[in-house]
Structure 1
Amino acid sequence: MRQLRTGDRFLRGKTVRLISQTNEQLGLVSFESALTMAAKAGLDLVEMPSKADNPVCKIMDYGKFQFDEAKRQREARKSQAQPKVKEIKLHANIDDNDFQIKCRRIIEFLRRGDKVKLLLAYRGREMAHPEIGEAVLNRMLQAVEEFANIDSPPKRLGRSITTFLSAKSPQRKDKSKDKDKSKGKAPAADKPSASSASSEGDKQ
C-alpha cells in the first residue's frame, strides 16, 4: 500500500478502480481524475493491494491510516507479549497416564511462554488423608522442575492447594565449572512443598 502523487510514472495515464473515503465504489476513472478528486477532498490517493486488472485506489487520510496501523501493531505485540495463565487440575487419586498427560501439557504451556496455575483439588473423603494429595503435587513439581519456576509456594485454601509456575529462562552452563563450584558448597535449601502449605492452612 503506497500513497500516490501526480507524477507517479506507473499509473499516469492509466484507468484505476476508485474507492471513496466512505468506502463507496466509484468505478473506473482515470488516474488523473482520481488524484483531482482526492485533492478536492483534502485527502490522499492510495494504491491498495489487489490482483484486479485495473489498479485499485482509495481516497483516504494516509497519515491517519499510518498512525492507526502503527497503533494496531503495537497493541497486537503487547497482547502477544502478555503471558496467559493456564490452569491444570490434579486429584489425589490421579492415575499414571493422566499424570503424564498433564505433565506434558504443563511443559507445553511453559514453552509457549504461558504461566500455569497448578491446582490440587480434594474430593469427598480425600481430605481424610491430605498427605496423598500433597505427594501428588510434589511429584508433579519435581517432574517439571527442569522447565518451571515456582512463582508462589503451594498454598492451601479450603479443599484445594494452589501454586503458580512460570518458564525458566534458558541458561548456558559450563558443566566443568559447575562441578568445581559444587565442591565444598552447602546443600541447597529445600524447595517449597505442598506439605508446608498444608500445615500453614491447618493453622489458619
Structure 2
Amino acid sequence: MHPSSRFQHNNKKPFVRINNAIRAREVLVIDSTGKSLGVLPIHEAQQRAQQQGLDLVEVSPHANPPVCKILDYGKYKYSLSKKEKDSKKGATKLKEIQLHVNINEHDFLIKLKQAESFMAKGMKVKFNLFLRGREITHQDLALNLMKRLIQDLAHIGQTDQEPKLTGRNISLTFIPLPANKRLLKYNLSEVEANKQKPQEEKDKTEKS
C-alpha cells in the first residue's frame, strides 16, 4: 500500500489524492468489489482500506460528498494510463487519402488498395478531393468518383453520408466494417502470395 500521506500529481495532469491526503471529512465509499458502503467519516474509510491492505483513492473529488474507492492504487494508475494510450491510438486511427478529379484507373486502384489496407487494420479512411481552377466545372465527375468509392469499398467499409461539394472540396470518411465482416479484394493477390511463400520455400528445401 502507498504511504498514507502521499498523493499523485504532475504539471500536466490533476493530482489524485489517496489515503491521508484526502481532505474531506466524509466520503462516499465504494469497496473493492464495486459495492457502495455509503457515506463514512474519512478516518473510518481509511481504516477499512488499510484493513484490506489497499488504498483509499479519491476518484470524484468534486462530488458532494467526494467519492472514494478502496483499491490497489498501482493497478488503478496502470488502468488510467492504458485508457489514455488507447485514446491516443484511437485519435491517430484516421488515414487521409488525396484524390484528383482526373485520376487515371491505375492510380485509382492504388488508392483503393491503400484504403482497403488501412481499413483491414481497423483504421478510418478519409478521402479528400479538391477542385482546382477550372476543375470546378467538373463537379459531376468529382461526385461520381466519390460515389464509386462507396461501391468499390463496400466489402470492407461504409460511410454514413453522401458525398457533398463544400466550396471546392469534397470529403468522404469510411468506417471499417466489423472485423469478421471485412473482406479483401484489391490486396488479395498479395495475401495469397504470402501464403504460397512458405510452401515454395519448403519445396526448395526438399529439392536441395
Under TM normalisation by the shorter chain, which class is it? 0.3 to 0.5
TM-score, reference length from structure 2:
0.46
TM-score, reference length from structure 1:
0.47
